Structure 1
Amino acid sequence: MNSKGNVNQENIRKIQIFDTTLRDGEQAPGATLTFEQKMVLAHQLAKLGVDVMEPGFPISSPGEFAAVRQISRELQQVEICGFGRAVKEDIDAALKATQDAERRRIHMFLSSSDIHLQHQLRKSRQEVVAMAREMVAYAKQYVNTIEFTTMDATRTDINFLVEMVEAVIAEGATIINLPDTVGYALPEEYGNMFRRVRQEARGGDTVQYSAHCHNDLGLAVANSLAAIQAGASQIEVTMNGVGERTGNCSLEELVMAIETRKAALQVGTGISSEHIYETSRMVSRAMHFPIAYNKPVVGRNAFQHESGIHQDGLLKHRSTYEIMDPEQLGIPRSMIILGKHSGRHALKHRIAQFGVTLNEGELETVYRQFKEVADEQKIVTDDRLLEIVGHSVRQDEAVEAYSLIDLQVVAGSQRARVASVTIRDQRQGMEQSYSGVGDGPLEAVINCIQQAIPVAAEFEDLEIHSLSSGEEAHGEAIVTITHDEQTYRGTSMHKDIVLAAAQAYISACNQAVMR
């Protein structure tokens, strides 16, 4: 780092990103993936730029074995990791599943803490060291790169941990993984463990070190950074932090912490950040794991702001309240959320996105009405906002190109879903009805609307959120479309979620048309 605090690329140390989304991540309850889903996600993770991929646990099932084998064959640009327990059957399965990989390693694990030895393995320390030696020596006959994990390292007696690491290094292990298996460690403790093992184990300075942290106390990323500062050169992560219990170190959080604080950490990764958001959404959908609103980097609120002070600062210069650029992460720019804390600048900005310009008097009138509505509901959606504008100041002028007049859907278990909509073209002053079918009610509705609005817009994404509970519950729909390589997002809220989605889709299309 030079005197101005800038990054000197010559001094940047490369951190390998070891992705275990398809192995440890899939072990989260309910996260099981099909063969096809694994293949799609594996290709996406390779596109993201992970250095090492652990695509599964080959011994666990025929399907898992087949997926690891096929990924090994297709993804020649990524190092593939065959995972198993420190037993011959697991190692044999991992060796066979990864035999077609261009680059591969065997990753075996064996418990090291007295808690695990006494209550799970029911073996002595000496027996465990003998097992570790035997299995590393066995695998070394077939592969050069062997990663050995001392499971529950952070609750292991440090002297025994050093002894165990020495033993596997002597037999040919090339990567030592010291995991925080139960998310127990504090960052200072975790970093010190790495330093002591590196310094005290014979041969400890001849191998690579890896960190694998779980998030039970919310410290997985912090502990991983502590490991980096203590000399680890590989971090094991999952997309969205998925994994057993509360999950693993989150790929996107770790990578962006490194990228954002590169000058302080003096390390970097090979991740292509523009693919982070897309990969995150794909993993979320495939595993049916929703992403928390306040999830760092990829959560809905990560780059959205309701506070008027924040909105005003952001509209003047992004860096006032954002330390990362969402567009560099592949995240659509939608930083303004309109609610009771929003100010005039944000309101004017959002209205302008629909091609509507208000003078000061009109803005003040709309703002007063907006505040009344915002006090009654959590957020003011696009369709409601345009309704306010129309009622308040532009009664004789269309503020949206198209509006939904009527919608009907027929759904049933034994028939295709059929929908009909009536759309008003505000500029032409004409109403027309359209009908369509689909596998689901929303698909049928979208097919109708696409006939009505002559914009070659691709339906990109739909988010549906419950805003309350009980019989009076409302749902919020957020629809993203792409048109001419630009992304547009529309929002709506209604008790009928299909109607809300239809209105949100029309809102997004209106932005594309008005632009």
Structure 2
Amino acid sequence: MRQPDETVQATIFDTTLRDGELALTQKFTLAQKLQLALMLEAAGVDVIEVGYPGAFRKDRDDLLEVAAQVKQATICGLASSQPEEIEAVAAALKPAERSRINVFTPIRVPSAGAESEAIAAIRQGVSLARRYSGEVEWSAFDATRCPLDVVCRAVETAICSGASIITIPDSMGVARPSEFVALVKSVGDRVPNIDQATLAVHCHNDLGLADENSLAALTVGVRQVECSVNGLGARAGNADLEAIVAAIASQPKFHTGVQAAHLPALSAQVAALAQSLPPKARLEA
């Protein structure tokens, strides 16, 4: 039993090497990804998302190399529900000591028929990923613009199919804190098997609320926050790693395993690399 003075650990999932690249006209080189992955590992980041092999062939090689060299952090690759994408991630993760497949499925669909297809895709994709990896995350893409009952059915299906981490993303960065908290809390209250999974969030910063939304979600059961160094990411970016870690450290109920002293150097390195790889125009991101 936890003692009253003990705090709950929030898992820190970094997506600089995957989502962060979407802000750049050129992708990180393999050497740059490996350097940043080792720095993230040294800082105590729990999960490092390295790439999306199904969309970018180079990410397959990057994932394979990082998986071979990073030993402490969990190494993660992104895939849609398509079997070939899941199999590409699984193959690249073979050298990893700790691995995770992150499967995403768009659930904002136009009709009941399309919803049935999405549910079938979740079931198929998560089940396949679970055959390859002991740890499967499922992400409800565009959850904040989707009817709550659809979100809940999708989450329940993903857990039944083997997902042990469920991510509620604000994919388009449209939610305000009160709305986002209400959504996450409703998922926790309404999905009957939610206690079999860890709840996570992945927030974008289009309204400047990614950090605030992520932190607010901790108060309603979220135990993993997805973020990136300097908030680097698609469009306006993601929740900021350093800000999230500092804010969690200031809360009496939570802590992370991240060593904050490592983060300034990491921030400076990512800033230098991002400056050498020109950022995309906002409309292109």
TM-score range, shorter chain: over 0.9
Q: Tell me the residue number matched to 1:209.
A: 199
Equivalent residue in structure 2 for 1:226, among 179, 202, 216 = 216
Q: Tell me the residue number matched to 1:181.
A: 171
Q: Is the 8 A contact 1:239 1:250 kept in 2?
A: yes
Residues 237-287 of structure 1: per-residue CA shift (max 9 Å, x gap)? 00000000000000011111112x222xx1011111111110001001112
Q: Is the 8 A contact 1:25 1:244 kept in 2?
A: yes
Q: Tell me the residue number matched to 1:50.
A: 45
Report the CA distance between 1:31 and its aligned residue: 5.3
Q: Give the alignment of 1:192-271 within 5 angstroms.
A: 192-259=182-249, 261-263=250-252, 266-271=253-258
Equivalent residue in structure 1 for 2:135, among 145, 151, 157 = 145
For residues 29 and 155 of structure 1, what CA distance do their matches in structure 2 show? 26
Q: Tell me the residue number matched to 1:64.
A: 59
Name structure 1 gaps, 5 residues minimum: 1-7, 291-515
Q: Tell me the residue number matched to 1:11.
A: 6
Equivalent residue in structure 1 for 2:259, among 272, 280, 283 = 272
For residues 151 and 9 of structure 1, what CA distance do their matches in structure 2 show? 36
Residues 353-407 of structure 1: per-residue CA shift (max 9 Å, x gap)? xxxxxxxxxxxxxxxxxxxxxxxxxxxxxxxxxxxxxxxxxxxxxxxxxxxxxxx
**2:108 is equivalent to residue 113 of structure 1:** yes
Q: Tell me the residue number matched to 1:82.
A: 77
Q: What letter is aligned with 1:268?
A: H
What TM-score, normalized by structure 1, do the two folds share?
0.52
Report the CA distance between 1:211 and its aligned residue: 0.4
Residues 329-354 of structure 1: per-residue CA shift (max 9 Å, x gap)? xxxxxxxxxxxxxxxxxxxxxxxxxx
Identity of aligned residues (%): 35
Q: Tell me the residue number matched to 1:405.
A: none
What TM-score, normalized by structure 2, do the two folds share?
0.92
For residues 219 and 281 of structure 1, what CA distance do their matches in structure 2 show? 23
Q: Return closer, same or farther for 1:156/1:274 CA change in 2, 3 Å cut-off.
A: same
Three-state SS of the structure 2 residue aligned to 1:50 is coil
For residues 151 and 84 of structure 1, what CA distance do their matches in structure 2 show? 12
Residues 78-129 of structure 1: per-residue CA shift (max 9 Å, x gap)? 1011211110111001000011111111101011123xx57xxx97111111
For residues 211 and 189 of structure 1, what CA distance do their matches in structure 2 show? 14
> Which protein is bigger by CA-based radius of gyration?
1
Three-state SS of the structure 2 residue aligned to 1:150 is strand
For residues 4 and 262 of structure 2, what CA distance do their matches in structure 1 show? 23
Q: What letter is aligned with 2:271?
A: S
For residues 23 and 187 of structure 1, what CA distance do their matches in structure 2 show? 25
**2:266 is equivalent to residue 283 of structure 1:** no
Q: What letter is aligned with 1:262?
A: Q
Three-state SS of the structure 1 residue aligned to 2:54 is helix
Residues 448-477 of structure 1: per-residue CA shift (max 9 Å, x gap)? xxxxxxxxxxxxxxxxxxxxxxxxxxxxxx
Residues 52-102 of structure 1: per-residue CA shift (max 9 Å, x gap)? 000111233342211110100100111011211110111001000011111
Q: Is the 8 A contact 1:32 1:287 kept in 2?
A: no
Three-state SS of the structure 2 residue aligned to 1:226 is helix
**2:180 is equivalent to residue 190 of structure 1:** yes
Q: Tell me the residue number matched to 2:280.
A: none
Q: Give the alignment of 1:446-461 within 5 angstroms.
A: none
**2:170 is equivalent to residue 163 of structure 1:** no
Q: How many residues align?
A: 275
Three-state SS of the structure 1 residue aligned to 2:170 is coil
Higher normalized contact order (CA 8 Å, seq sep 6+, divided by chain length): 2
Q: Is the 8 A contact 2:181 2:217 kept in 1?
A: yes
Q: Return closer, same or farther for 1:24/1:9 CA change in 2, 3 Å cut-off.
A: farther
Q: Give the alignment of 1:269-418 within 5 angstroms.
A: 269-288=256-275
For residues 4 and 42 of structure 2, what CA distance do their matches in structure 1 show? 23
